[in-house]
Structure 1
Amino acid sequence: MRISVIVPCRNEAAHIRAFCQSVAEQQLPAEVALEVWIADGMSNDGTREQLADWCASDARFHVIDNPGRIVSTGLNRCIAHATGDFIVRLDVHTVYAPDYIAQCLATWQATGADNVGGPWCAQGAQGKGGTVQRAVAAAFQSKWVSGGARSRDLTYNGEVDTVYLGAWPRSTFERFGGFDETLVRNQDDEHNLRIHQGGGRIWQSASIRSVYFPRSSKRDVFRQYRQYGYWKPFVMRKHGQAAALRHLVPGLFVAALLLCLMLMLLGAAVSYLLPPAADYRLAALWLAALGAGGLMALSALYGAAVFAVSTAISREAGRELWWHLPDVIAAYHFGYGLGSLQGWWDALVRRRPDPAFGRLTR
């Protein structure tokens, strides 16, 4: 049996050699042959040269160009070249257990699912310099921040709506097609949604173990999740449904805050412009008060919730993280929410994506 590993990458000079080493050291059954296809998004930081050297020393590794430079085009190019019966996607910024690929294969053989994978486990670097990254990872893992996504539950075994990375029998792509190349983000969620709508199954196994290293700055988390939020409405428009309710909540919350702010400013402006005896001045003042009251109430409720969640997370992950967690949680929620609102506007009104969101952030 042959297994094909597929990897999209771009500008990963600091990580690519360690990644290749970890893949080469995967523990596989004796009857399994391995091939690795890496789609390089036209890197210009030395990644291509390192990959060329590695491929020259290990014939199992192959590099192909990914002129599209985004994940979906890279994955599809790898799939087109892959010759394996079973296809496993890996990410350069993740560390894998030595039996990761073997467990993917065993889970598929045991369940017959159309896509299998393990839980999404985030971890930050140890030491003082990694405090923010550990806070980002701890918030990422919290069900209160992620909306209860099962893919973040490290102990869950069973069917899920989406799974981290993924591993598929070749028949899955023959039946459901490849990844949507119009999506810069959320191409995996869209593909999993397509599998579900087509009657397929996605299975998560806690025995498939890996560790993901998230962004290490709050600004980068905000930018990343703003992009995630932006592309989600295009997935929803394509399929006419949300993958899960949790994908809608951040956008609705931010929209409510913006509506209250607009009412407050509009009411205040109108009341200021109207003479004191004007019939509509009282209504304008009432509108301003309504907006201000709503804005204060929503902000107070959210602030209290963030304080409580930050306290709960820091008790388990480390009290030194508390000072960063409120900002990190807000970066997740407001980034995703603001991105969602702009995404809905472009998906439903402009009917096309903004080119500014066409470049991957890292």
Structure 2
Amino acid sequence: MIAKNMNNQPFVSIIIPCRNEGKFIVACIESILENDYPKDRMEIFVIDGMSTDHTRETVRRFVKRYPFIFLLDNQHKHTAAALNMGIKKSTGSVIMRLDAHTTYTAEYISKCVYYLQKYNADNVGGVIKTIPGSSTVIGKSIAIALAHSFGIGNSKFRTGIKNYREADTVPFGCFKREVFNNIGLFNKNLHRSQDMEFNLRLKKSGGKILLFGDISANYYADKTLLSFIKHNFQNGIWATYPLKFTKQTLSARHYIPCLFVSAILLTLILSMFSAVFKIILLIILALYFTLLIPTAVQISVKQKKPVFILTMPIIFSSLHISYGLGSILGLIKILLDTWNQENNKNSSTMIS
């Protein structure tokens, strides 16, 4: 095992933001405790966003048993605030940002630290293995969509890689402490997408981010179609709304659903006035279904379950449309905020 062969293991501070993760927090913490990294060389901060379920009580039981586990209150309830609080409280030369909705393989920590040092990287992470949130056909279909290139584009940390490569972002990253001293903390204005924005800043500053195929974590997907749609709608909002706070833009794949849904809505409206746009709308939909249906058939054959021919088109289209609509709303929110700011400025000028 890597941890036993490592010399001068650095002290690792693990930060876990959470809110109402009562169903997953036990498995998450236990998987960290089962890691082969020396327990006297780590500290774990669970930063709770004032959970209303039994998350806090559960974590307190771990705190009583393990002196290196700490529970902190995040009054702001947002992930960026939790991460920044944990970084400020931490003492390690290596900082890991983990997720409560996830479990980690036994060598996750040791491999991240080893590769961080070996390749002189600034941030190291692994691939996500998406686990169905439920055993239902819909639950399994959601997990498949989140690990398929048709669903999430060229996101290598979701679709997987064999060796390692440089990346724009990685999930559940392992950072050198000096990274935060050099480029600052997570953007407190971003309720989501704060990891991607931070990693974009890191890359822009000349930092090295590496993704390794032999590092993996198990992420539990949404259980139901409704929760899946809500989740992706929120993700869509926070793919575009951060443009209000930062000049950094996400990779192109994050904006494709926005363009797709915008094209459908625009041609749908214009088709009321011209038959040409009806044809354009039909072409757009035909192209989409030309990709969608064969993908669903391919998945059904691979999984040996004909039912996926019916469920996968629903899941994929729900993912793309909800994310796209969320992205459009994010842009609208920026315009409304800008308009309100201008009105407030004009009002102040008139009063003065």
TM-score by length of 2: 0.88
Aligned equivalent of 2:31 = 22
Q: 1:232 aligns with which of 226, 239, 243?
A: 239
Distance 2:339 2:294 in 1: 40
Matched residues, number? 329
Bigger Cα displacement from structure 2, 14-23 vs 253-262: 14-23
Distance 1:317 1:164 in 2: 27
Give the alignment of 1:306-317 within 5 angstroms.
306-317=292-303
Q: 1:54 aligns with which of 55, 62, 65?
A: 62
**How far has the Cα of 1:349 moved from its partner?**
4.4
Pair 348,110 (structure 1): closer, same or farther in 2 beyond 3 Å: farther
**How far has the Cα of 1:238 moved from its partner?**
4.2
Give the alignment of 1:184-263 within 5 angstroms.
184-240=191-247, 242-263=249-270
8 Å Cα contact 2:24-2:102 kept in structure 1 = no
Return the letter of the residue paired with 2:148: S
Aligned equivalent of 1:341 = 328
**How far has the Cα of 1:318 moved from its partner?**
4.2
1:172 aligns with 2:179: yes
Pair 203,297 (structure 1): closer, same or farther in 2 beyond 3 Å: same
What are the superposed Cα offsets for residues 204-245 of structure 1, whole Å, 9 maximum, x if unpaired? 011211111111212212211111111122334544353211
**How far has the Cα of 1:322 moved from its partner?**
2.9
Aligned equivalent of 2:290 = 304
- Where 1:28 maps in the other structure, the secondary structure is coil
Q: 1:293 aligns with which of 267, 270, 279?
A: 279
Pair 116,43 (structure 1): closer, same or farther in 2 beyond 3 Å: same
Aligned equivalent of 2:347 = none
Aligned equivalent of 2:4 = none
**How far has the Cα of 1:123 moved from its partner?**
1.9
What are the superposed Cα offsets for residues 6-65 of structure 1, whole Å, 9 maximum, x if unpaired? 0001112222222222222211158x6111000011012121112112201111100000
1:321 aligns with 2:330: no
Aligned identity (percent) is 31
Give the alignment of 1:272-287 within 5 angstroms.
287=274
Aligned equivalent of 1:5 = 14
Aligned equivalent of 2:346 = none
Return the letter of the residue paired with 1:335: S
Distance 1:259 1:70 in 2: 34
Pair 227,318 (structure 1): closer, same or farther in 2 beyond 3 Å: farther
1:147 aligns with 2:148: no
Structure 1 unaligned residues grouped into runs of 5+: 268-286, 354-362
8 Å Cα contact 1:219-1:331 kept in structure 2 = no
1:181 aligns with 2:188: yes
Distance 2:218 2:309 in 1: 22
What are the superposed Cα offsets for residues 121-141 of structure 1, whole Å, 9 maximum, x if unpaired? 212267xx3322221111111
8 Å Cα contact 1:28-1:101 kept in structure 2 = yes
Give the alignment of 1:78-97 within 5 angstroms.
78-97=86-105
8 Å Cα contact 2:138-2:224 kept in structure 1 = yes
Distance 1:18 1:246 in 2: 32
1:110 aligns with 2:125: no
What are the superposed Cα offsets for residues 86-139 of structure 1, whole Å, 9 maximum, x if unpaired? 11121122121111111110110111111110012212267xx33222211111
TM-score by length of 1: 0.86
Give the ranges of 4+ consecutive aligned residues of structure 1 lying more than 6 Å apart after TM superposition.
none
8 Å Cα contact 2:241-2:327 kept in structure 1 = no
- Where 1:206 maps in the other structure, the secondary structure is strand
8 Å Cα contact 1:142-1:313 kept in structure 2 = no
Pair 201,162 (structure 1): closer, same or farther in 2 beyond 3 Å: same
Pair 352,64 (structure 1): closer, same or farther in 2 beyond 3 Å: farther
Distance 2:50 2:336 in 1: 33
- Which structure has the larger Rg over C-alpha atoms? 1
1:101 aligns with 2:88: no
Bigger Cα displacement from structure 2, 300-309 vs 188-197: 300-309
Distance 1:352 1:78 in 2: 36
